[in-house]
Amino acid sequence: MEEAELKRRMERMQRQLYVLVEKTGSFVDPKVVELSQQIDCLVLSIQLLRMKDKLQ
């Protein structure tokens, strides 16, 4: 997956996270934590792509 696509997906998930926190009223709700962890994985994927590009 390309970096631009990963960033769009991450931004979409961040908006979903904001709505979910507003809905649940909690940062520790299991659904909020799960979505946050998925976003973390996307951030790591983007960072790895950037590192890979720098090494080439």
**Complete domains list, the chain, with CATH:** 3-55 (4.10.280.10)
Per-residue pLDDT tens for 2-56? 999 999 999 999 999 999 999 999 999 999 999 999 999 999 999 999 999 889 8
- Is residue 1 scored above 90 in pLDDT? no
Neighbours of 49 (CB within 10 A): 14
Write down the pLDDT at residue 33.
98
**How far apart, in Å, are the Cα atoms of 53 and each of 2, 3, 8, 46, 48?**
12, 11, 19, 11, 9
38 touches 19 (CB < 8 A): no
